[in-house]
Every structure is written in C-alpha cells, then in structure tokens.
Amino acid sequence: MSTIFKDRNWKFFKSLRFRILVILVVIGIVPSVIIENGILNSYEERTVTLRSNTVKTQCDILCNQLINQDYVNNPTSEVINGEFTLLSNVYSGRILIIYEDYKVINDTYDLDKGKTIISEEVVRSFRGESTSNYDKENNYIEMTIPIEDAETQKIYGVMLISISTNEIVASLAILEQKGLYLLTIIVLLVLIFGYILAGILVKPFARVTRSIEDLTDGYLDENISVRDYTETELITDAFNKMLTRVKSLDDSRQEFVSNVSHELKTPLTSMKVLADSLVGQENVPIELYQEFMQDITEEIDRENKIITDLLSLVKLDKKAADMHIEKLNVTDLLDLILKRLRPIAAKQNIDLILESFKPVIAEVDEVKLTLALSNLVENGIKYNKENGWVRISINTDSKYFYVTIADSGRGIPKDSLDRIFERFYRVDKSHSKEIGGSGLGLSITKNAIVMHHGVVKVHSEEGEGTTFSVRIPLHYSV
C-alpha cells in the first residue's frame, strides 16, 4: 500500500503538471517577495529621511533662538529649556547642548550635564557640518547640528539630538505582517490556479494517452488525432505511422499464415484423395497401387520441400546478430554450387557455365549466400528448356561484387516481374506441381541478399530468358 502511494507521489513529481506548477509558483511568488521587501525597505528609508528632515528644521530654528537669546551664556532660559522639553517629548528624544570645550551644558535627560563629549560627529559639527546617522539595530536617529551665528559665522556649540524610531519600526512591523498575509494569499491563489491551469495545459497529453489506451483495448479502430498543440499533433502523427506499419505487418503475417496453411494442405489433400481411392476399391491391380504410391511419394517430397523452405525463411527473418560473417572466396563458393547442381542440369541437358575473371574475396555468411545463389541457379535450370544454358558470371570493383545468373529459359511475363519475390508467388501455378516449386525460393534469396546489405534485380523477356543480377558489398558492416 505504502509503496503504491510512494510510486504515485513519485509519478506526480515527475509529471509535466507538477513542473508547470513549479514554474508558475516561481514566476508568481519570487517577484512578490522581492517587491514586498523592496517596498518595506524604501518605506523605512523614506520615513527615516522625512523624520530626520523635520527634526533638523525644528532644531535649526531652535539653534537660531539659542544665538538670539545668548543661551550659551544664559543656559537657564526657561523659554528655550521649555522648547527643548517639548521637542524631546514630541519625538521621544533627548537633546544635549555641548559647549566649545566639549562640555555638556544642557541635557533633557539630566544625565550627562557637566560631562565632556568628544565624538567624531560632535567634532565635525564644531567645524560647521551637520551630521545624521540612523542606528537600525538600536532604533534611533542621532543628529549633530552646529550652533552657529549666521552673521559672524562663529560656532558657539553643538546640539546633539537622539530621537527614537520605535514608532517607525512598529508601523514597519504592521506593514510586514500585512505583506505576509498578502503573500500567503498570493501563494495559495497561485497554487490553486496553477494546479488548475497546469491541469488544463496537460489535458491534451492525457487525451493522447487515453486515445492510445482505447486503441490498445480495442475500442477504436481508426487513427488517433489530438490537434490541440503542435507537440500532440507530432506525437499522434508518429503514432499513426507506427500503427499503419503494425497493421501492415499484421496483415502480411495473416496472409503468410493463410498461405502456409493452404500450401501445406494441398499435398495432404492430394495424398488423401489418392489413398481414399485405393482404400475405396476392391481388388486394385498392383500397377495402380504402384502408380498411386509413386504419386503419394511425390506429394510427400513436395510437402517436405515446402517445410524445408519455410524453415530457411524463418531463419532468415531473424536479426543481423545471426549473421556468421567470414572472409570467403565467393568464386570458389559458386564453383561448389555448380558442382552440386550439375547432375540436375544434366538431366535436361542444360549447360552450366561459370565466367569469372579474378577470385572474389568478400565478407559473407557462407550458408545464407549459398542458399541465395543456389536458388537462383536452380531456378535457371528448373524454368529452362531442354539443351538450354545457364550462364553465371562473377565480377568485382573496389566496393562490391556482382553475380549475374542468366538463363535461356521461358522468361517471366512483365506483369509478374514485380511479384516474383513475394512469398508463395508462382507465375504458372498449374506447372509448379511438375516442376516442384514452393514459391518461397526467391523470397529466401532476396532476404539473404538484403541481410548482406545487397540488392537483387531481375530482367526477363518472355520466351527468351531471364537474368538475375546480384550486388553485395565486399565488406560487411552492421
């Protein structure tokens, strides 16, 4: 149970739907997070700058009042001290007034009065510069402003102000929380809509799978068609092509099986008729027995030949891995074939002539090539006339060797030329019985030659003769 669950999970993570979902989530969420961070940062920067500017303006005014009322010499001025208290209350801050000798002459917190403060910022302000620093960690802004007489440009002291930014941080936290809510909603929406959208996008692919399954289960008998995307169109087109090929293979297999059954049944039927007629008669003369038994023997021979040829054909239908390639003298091989067939040719007084100009050495499968060439020479003898000839020539160039088998036989009608390499095809079925063909010879020959990556062609003139030309590469390559 748990393995099935794991498998399903794994399948989902490998699915196109999951990948589209991931892309949508990345596209939808990453920019949202970046934008949220950017907004929060610039909000913080902006509010801190605004707060610093406001406080600075107020402090500048206060500094002018300090000069006008000679606060440095009269630090007990109630008006000014009242303003200090007001300012520090409004901004939750602290104001220190530092005199020329870096001594603190007023502190709204009353902590450092009389102490000396020599910080870098204070020193810089004594040189006429205003400074402002935002301490993000401790949540405060610290500013130093020179107390300067605008007319004489004399600097009497420095005002040091620290104001809390807790308020800003608090509003930032609220904003951040709202942003988080918004982001969670965006994530959920992207996940829901992404899941639905990814489902819609991959639907055509699911349809392709369903169509293929329907076809496999036998609900559909035609080609499949899912034209939603170019990709699904390409997949279904490729599938249809494969289907056509499978169908044609199935058709040819069925045709082959029915041909085989028919061919195997014919001699059996003849034998049965012959045997029945003998069984059904009383006092049959011995001569008739002998004649019928002779016929039965011929039928057995025929059956035997068909089965032998079928076995050869089945062997040749196997893969290239079954080729036993060796370097061989093909001229010697032809010589051997002719030696074996000469007695058969002699029965019809047919001349077998071998024309070879030089020994041809090639990489071939001896058994298969012998089968192919024997069939061609045998046919040359079988379909010849008395006192005829079969001329076999062998030649070579740098890439191929060529064998031609020409005969002075009956020839093949033009309309049959295209079909003679088909299994069980015979031009003249009525004569085939006496000649003893199975209709498989040329099919075996062609298969054997094709397995050598060669070609076989035929040229024939009815009544004059036939020539088969074979071309095979000298070097075998897989």
Nearest to 237 by CA among 247, 250, 223, 249: 223
Strands 93-99 and 104-107: antiparallel
93, 194, 388, 439: which one contacts ligand ADP (CB under 6 A)?
439
Backbone angles phi, psi at 139, to 5 degrees: 60, 55
- Count of CB atoms within 10 A of residue 395's CB? 14
Shortest distance, position 234 Cβ to ligand ADP, whole Å? 41
What CA dihedral angle connects 332, 335, 337 and 343, to 10 degrees?
Answer: -160
Shortest distance, position 395 Cβ to ligand ADP, whole Å? 20
Q: What is the DSSP string of 376-413?
A: HHHHHHHT--TT-EEEEEEEE-SSEEEEEEEE-S----
Shortest distance, position 305 Cβ to ligand ADP, whole Å? 8
420, 449, 451, 472: which one contacts ligand ADP (CB under 6 A)?
420
Q: Which two tokens stand for residue 214?
A: 């329907």
What residue is closest to ligand ADP based on CB?
437
Q: Which two tokens stand for residue 208?
A: 């392709």
470 is a site residue for ligand ADP (CB under 6 A): no
291 is a site residue for ligand ADP (CB under 6 A): no
213-221, 239-247, 361-369, 426-434 -> range binding ligand ADP (CB under 6 A): 426-434
Shortest distance, position 319 Cβ to ligand ADP, whole Å? 23
Shortest distance, position 355 Cβ to ligand ADP, whole Å? 18
CA distance 445 to 423: 11
427, 451, 456, 472: which one contacts ligand ADP (CB under 6 A)?
427
Q: Which is nearer to ligand ADP, 148 or 303 (CB)?
A: 303
208, 412, 448, 472: which one contacts ligand ADP (CB under 6 A)?
412
Shortest distance, position 248 Cβ to ligand ADP, whole Å? 21
How many residues line the site for ligand ADP (CB under 6 A)?
23
52, 236, 331, 466: which one contacts ligand ADP (CB under 6 A)?
466
106, 379, 396, 408: which one contacts ligand ADP (CB under 6 A)?
379
Q: Which is nearer to ligand ADP, 213 or 301 (CB)?
A: 301
428 is a site residue for ligand ADP (CB under 6 A): yes
Shortest distance, position 457 Cβ to ligand ADP, whole Å? 13
438 is a site residue for ligand ADP (CB under 6 A): yes
441 is a site residue for ligand ADP (CB under 6 A): yes
CA angle 48/165/61 to nearest 5° reads 65
Tell me the sheet residues that pair with 458: 468
Shortest distance, position 406 Cβ to ligand ADP, whole Å? 9
Burial string for 254-291 (b: 16+ CB within 10 Å, else e) reads: eeeeebbeebeeebeebbeebeeeeeeeeeeeeeeeee
Residue found by looking up tokens 């088969």 in the block: 468
Q: Which is nearer to ligand ADP, 139 or 469 (CB)?
A: 469
410 is a site residue for ligand ADP (CB under 6 A): yes
Q: Which is nearer to ligand ADP, 162 or 447 (CB)?
A: 447
Distances (CA, A) of 297 to 60, 103, 261, 267: 133, 139, 20, 10
Residue type, 177: Q
407 is a site residue for ligand ADP (CB under 6 A): yes
Q: What is the DSSP string of 87-122?
A: HHHHTTEEEEEEETTSBEEEETTSSSTT-B---HHH
Shortest distance, position 375 Cβ to ligand ADP, whole Å? 6
Shortest distance, position 454 Cβ to ligand ADP, whole Å? 17
93, 146, 267, 380: which one contacts ligand ADP (CB under 6 A)?
380
456 is a site residue for ligand ADP (CB under 6 A): no
Shortest distance, position 251 Cβ to ligand ADP, whole Å? 20
408 is a site residue for ligand ADP (CB under 6 A): no
Instruction: Cite the DSSP H helix spans in 327-386.
Output: 330-347, 366-382
392 is a site residue for ligand ADP (CB under 6 A): no
Tell me the sheet residues that pair with 467: 406, 459
Nearest to 362 by CA among 394, 333, 329: 329
* Segment holding 143, helix H or strand E: strand 140-148
In the chain the first and final C-alpha atoms are separated, in Å, by 47
Residues that bind ligand ADP (CB under 6 A): 375, 379-380, 383, 407, 409-412, 420, 425-428, 432, 437-443, 466
